[in-house]
Amino acid sequence: MTAGRLAGGTGYPVNIPGVAFSRAGDLLERRFDSWSCFVDYSASTPENLRDSGWGTGHKKFEKFSGTGDYETARVLAVNGWSDGEKLAREWANRLYTDVSRKTEKPVPIQDVEGEEFDIGAVLAGVPEPWTRWTTELVALNGSVRPVVKIVLNGTASYAVGQQTIIRRGAAVLGLCELLELSGRSVEIVLIFSTHDKKSTLYDYISVKRAGQPLDVPRVAFALAHPASLRRIWFSALEHLEKPSDRDAFHVTGDKGTTIDAEKKERGDIYIGRAYTGVDNNEGAPDWNDAEAVEKWIIETLSAQGVRLRDRAAA
């Protein structure tokens, strides 16, 4: 796949399958229908637009970017990241025995008192005109797989270190594995974003669709490797041709300021941008605190109706 020519100075490459662009005033959005599509797009930055300082350049910035050069990042993005897979599997294995392939289903019960009064039942002579709600456990099987959409804003400020990015991504991927093991079907969307005082850019990457198998090594790179942001996305940002866009989003500099996703784009589970050293944004835990992360995973699973083993009774 190649970028081809840029259309009319807009920064929109033409004839690229799986990539959609839209602009509404000062809002620019780019949507990629797969991780492979996004990586190919990133790798096809025209020579005249490449920034020697960041995404496709700056070979000496491994401690920040996670790889010594762009090509190393690209190979990992394509083939997967085994170290990240191991970290994610640690979380999945840690909690696997606590996850049940059952979910809680709300069930109405007619009674002489309750939460909802049914006038129709009174007129029909039903002696229990009130409805109260309880839950029962329903086994999940291959034909019934509730979809859970997880959205990770992979953008991180300069102050956020590699280990925070890695541990955050590994925890999120571990959560995805546990949801899949519980019988859910996970959809994963990765967002990168930047803005200045007026202009905003959102990139949406469909990393995994509901029903697709979870390719753990590749998803590990996408969600957890610093080079996913600081090599692959920085290079994708270099595609912007329009001078005003390059200035607004600091393409040749610090890449602008992080911004969270709009409410409508946050799915069922949203993990916000990382903009401090430990990233406790949007109610997220300190990703460097294993106990806090485990608590977050358990609470998030429970919020999705995943039944967990009672450890105190075990």
| pLDDT tens for the 314 residues of the chain, in order | 233 333 334 444 545 678 888 888 888 899 999 999 999 988 887 766 666 555 555 555 777 888 888 889 999 999 999 999 898 888 888 887 777 655 555 667 665 566 777 787 777 776 667 776 665 545 555 556 789 999 999 998 888 889 999 999 999 999 999 998 888 899 999 999 988 878 888 999 999 999 888 899 999 999 999 999 989 998 888 877 777 777 766 666 556 677 888 889 999 999 988 876 444 456 788 888 999 999 999 999 999 988 777 654 44
pLDDT at 25: 87
State the burial class of residue 308 (Cβ atoms within 10 Å of its Cβ: 0-12, 13-18, 19+): middle
Tell me the C-alpha distance between 228 and 232, whole Å: 5
Residue 98, token pair as written in the block: 């606590």
Task: Quickly tell me which residue has 């949203």 as its tokens.
Answer: 270
Give the residue among 6, 72, 81 at the shortest CA–CA distance from 44.
Answer: 6
3-class secondary structure, 270 = strand
Give how far the C-alpha of residue 99 lies from the chain's centroid of Cα atoms, to the nearest Å. Answer: 22
Tell me the C-alpha distance between 88 and 286, whole Å: 17
Q: Where are the beta strands (DSSP E) in the chain?
A: 19-24, 27-32, 99-111, 116-117, 130-139, 147-153, 185-195, 200-208, 269-271, 306-308
Tell me the C-alpha distance between 197 and 269, whole Å: 28
pLDDT at 284: 81
Give the residue among 137, 148, 157 at the shortest CA–CA distance from 301.
Answer: 148
CB 174 within 8 A of CB 287: no
Instruction: Record the pTM.
Output: 0.80
CB 192 within 8 A of CB 235: no
Tell me the C-alpha distance between 113 and 130, whole Å: 5
Q: Which residues of 259-271 are buried (b: 16+ CB within 10 A; e: fewer)?
A: bbbeeebbbbbbb
312-to-16, 75, 245, 264 alpha-carbon distances in Å:
54, 45, 55, 38
pLDDT at 275: 76
219-to-45, 169, 208, 300 alpha-carbon distances in Å:
23, 9, 8, 20
pLDDT at 3: 35
Angle between helices 290-303 and 82-95 (to 10 degrees): 70
Tell me the C-alpha distance between 24 and 295, whole Å: 40
Residues 6+ apart with CB under 8 A from 8: none
pLDDT at 9: 40
